[in-house]
Structure 1
Amino acid sequence: MSEQMRIMRSMELPKELRDRIVARHRSGQSYKRISAALKVPKSTVASIILKWKKFGTTRTLPRPGHPAKLNNRGRRALVREIKKNPKITVAELQRCSREMGESSTNSTITAALHQSGHYGRVARWKPLLSARHMKARIEFAKKHMKDSQTMRNTILWSDETKIELFGINSKGYVWRKPGTAHHLPNTIPTVKHGGGSIMLWGCFSAAGTGRLVAIEGKMNAAKYRDIPEENLFQSAQDLRLGRRFTFQQDNDPKHTAKITKEWLRNNSVTVLDWPSQSPDLNPIEHLWRDLKMAVHQHSPSNLTELERICKEEWQRIPKSRCEKLVASFPRRLMAVLAQKGASTQY
């Protein structure tokens, strides 16, 4: 299709041209011949002739639907308000509308914003970032963008997470008849306070998953120090990283405590300089999500079973998944730079 035809398809044809199409049709010309002669898409020719046959005219007919209740000026003003404050409520927007001399209902305001391409959505939870945090994230991204993929493949990523026994916060759907909502087969069992939970520490590299450890009791600096002491080098050995791997951990106070730093220094462990408030840079966050989804497919009934299933599913995570997540690290750094240090989509 020519550029001219593409333009014509996207705009309404002049009445004079529509009349010529109908005249040629009445003289016996085919749609294809009219399209070629007048350089109008064949589908447009057909549409115009169909309308002429149905209504007996080629003029523009009144369009269905009610006119917009909010004029363009009012709609632009609303868009300016939500750009200044994306968390503004519809009630507050209605108040702004009244101050501008418009008397708009909530549904009118919502419809106007939808027409402008803006929709209400649940806000994502993201770490609170200060100017200092964002500056550190930018510096980190610039520094490590230069790292080779070989270097990234020697990083042992780590983190802790909590998994609840009945902790899946998603809706479950059932097929049922009216009035049977409380019948046992149509319910999802819950336990007060979630039925308990376990805290896990885990690590992984591009070569696969390392150790996964359940943490007993409340975590403190001394207990955390024991975790790398008992699991770090064994994980590196299992993943064939050698002794010259780089250990990644966030800046949790237990990780940066004196007792932990001394152990890492005494054992010549290279630690990745990590910016605070940056879970979006750590690909292990995606593995935690994978693990939780896999574990709760089993519906474990107690904490012992929960821990066992966690460890089994952790080992089942394929190496290809780990490789893909580590390979995403440069894109995460680029996203930080694009966001000028703010939180990213990761």
Structure 2
Amino acid sequence: MVSQFGSLGYTIMGKTADLTVVQKTIIDTLHKEGKPQTFTAKEAGRSQSAVSKHVNRKLSGRKKCGRKTCTTNRENRSLERLVKQNRFKNLGELHKEWTEAGVKASRSTTHRHVKEFGYSCCIPIVKPLLNHRQRQRRLTWAKEKKKWTVAQWSKVLFSDESKFCISFGKQGPRIWRKSGEAHSPSCLKSSVKFPQSVMIWGTMSSAGVDLLCFLKTKVTAPDYQEILEHFMLPSADQIFKDPDFIFQQDLAPAHTAKSTKSWLNDHSVGVLDWPANSSDLNPIENLWGIVKRKMRNKRPKNADELKATVKETWASTPPQQCHRLITSMPRRIEAVIKAKGAPTKY
């Protein structure tokens, strides 16, 4: 005979998990009917020992054992509200503000409750600040490009600038050393106030990467136009083999200057309209990160060696990797729409 509770299918993984309200109801009902504990355990989806403990506890009138909590559910909810109001408060600030409201709890209790809420202390991800107008512009742009296919994005030449620095003596967060070796040269982590660095301008497309341009000073509009003529146009000719391509650039002052716009029009270069502060929409930003991660174990000693290392690492980027980044564009568009213009995980 199949019990009326058999179709509920309530099971709890683990022998030490507490009984649910439904399981307690099933056990109590079947116990009153005089059913054996083996049958009751099967219907409730629990072990026979769990059923026996529940029945014996009810018969003896004994409540659940264990130390009582020092805070109420209402006080716990107030702590969770404090966390949500300002995610940047440290544990000490949360504990102080919570106890000042009349809650009697230790710092460890505060920490335990915060962890029970599902929060953990992490390093925040840095994203560009977007105002309301910029979010709306991103959302509108994403909706306009929602139907673009990967084939259409493959005709776009993405460009961007990035800074590469020399990290002197980088040996990781920890080292192996013996007693008395703390000041040994081999055990020191060196630091410099102004490490040598290079600023780079580059392009990428679905076909791969091309020429890099090392920038010496702050780029003005005339400087940028020379970069376009000596680096962007040759790259486009080599990659696309025809003038039917779209050039992407951000809204830097040198890029949006009137003289730059005239130069692009004179050379019949179609420019992709681009929303402000939208590095998460540009796949070349991810490529810069990949190149920098590949250079972690490199130890250039000066700017010249740094340039050579960047060139070598950049040139070794496989076209398949660039193609994968381009195929992520539809997902980036969907992410912006879902976030209503706010920054995305990209």
Taking the aligned partners of 1:58 and 1:321, their CA distance within structure 2 comes to 64
More displaced 10-residue stretch of structure 1: 216-225 or 131-140: 216-225
1:69-97 alpha-carbon deviations (Å, 9 max, x no partner): 32211111122233233234445434542
Q: Offset at 1:287?
A: 0.6
Q: 2:137 maps to what in 1?
A: 136
Give the structure 1 partner of residue 225 of structure 2.
225
Q: Which whole-Å deviations, capped at 9, do the CAs of 1:84-130 have from their partners, x for residues lacking one?
A: 33234445434542453213343322221111112232222211111
Q: CA deviation at 1:39?
A: 3.9
Is the CA contact 1:18–1:58 (under 8 Å) kept in the aligned structure 2? Answer: no
Q: How does 1:282-301 map to 2 (within 5 A)?
A: 282-301=282-301
Secondary structure (helix, strand or coil) at the match of 2:194 reads: helix
Question: Mean alpha-carbon deviation: is it higher for 68-77 or for 137-146?
Answer: 68-77
Give the direction of change, closer, same or farther, for the CA distance of 1:61–1:67 in structure 2 (3 Å limit): closer
Q: Distance in 2 between matches of 1:151 and 1:273?
A: 14
Q: Tell me the residue number matched to 1:251.
A: 251
Correspondence for 1:44 among 43, 47, 50: 47
- Provide the rounded CA distance (Å) in 1 between the counterparts of 2:270 and 2:128: 26
1:101 corresponds to: 102
Instruction: Give 1:62 shift.
Output: 5.3
> Residue in 2 aligned with 1:319?
319
Alignment partner of 1:338 is 2:342: no
Give the match for residue 28 of structure 1: none
Query: 1:19, 1:58 within 8 Å by CA — same for their partners in 2?
Result: no
Residue 248 of structure 1 contacts residue 271 of structure 1 at CA under 8 Å; is this kept in 2?
yes
Identical-pair percentage: 33
Q: 1:228 to 1:63 in 2, by over 3 A?
A: farther
Deviations 1:43-75 (A, max 9, x none): 824x659x98xxxx96489555x4433221111
Change (3 A) 1:96 1:174: closer
Amino acid paired to 1:249? Q
State how far apart, in whole Å, the 2-side matches of 1:211 and 1:279 are. Answer: 21
TM-score by length of 2: 0.82
2:156 maps to 1:152 = no
CA RMSD in angstroms, aligned pairs only: 3.1
2:3 is aligned to none
The one-letter amino acid paired with 2:303 is: L
Query: Retained in 2: the 8 A contact 1:18–1:48?
Result: no
Q: In the alignment, residue 132 of structure 1 is paired with which amino acid?
A: R
Residues 147-178 of structure 1 show CA distances to partners (whole Å, capped at 9, x for unaligned) of 12211001101100010011799943323334
1:183-202 alignment runs, 5 A limit: 183-194=184-195, 196-202=196-202
Q: Structure 2 stretches of 5 or more lacking a match?
A: 1-5
Q: Normalising by structure 1, what TM-score?
A: 0.82
CA distance in 2 between counterparts of 1:345 and 1:302 reads 34
Which residue, out of 11, 15, 22, partners 1:7?
Answer: 11
Structure 1's 95 and 230: CA in aligned 2 closer, same or farther, altered over 3 A? same
Structure-2 separation of matches of 1:88 and 1:169:
31
Query: Does the CA-based 8 Å contact 1:154-1:241 persist in structure 2?
Result: no
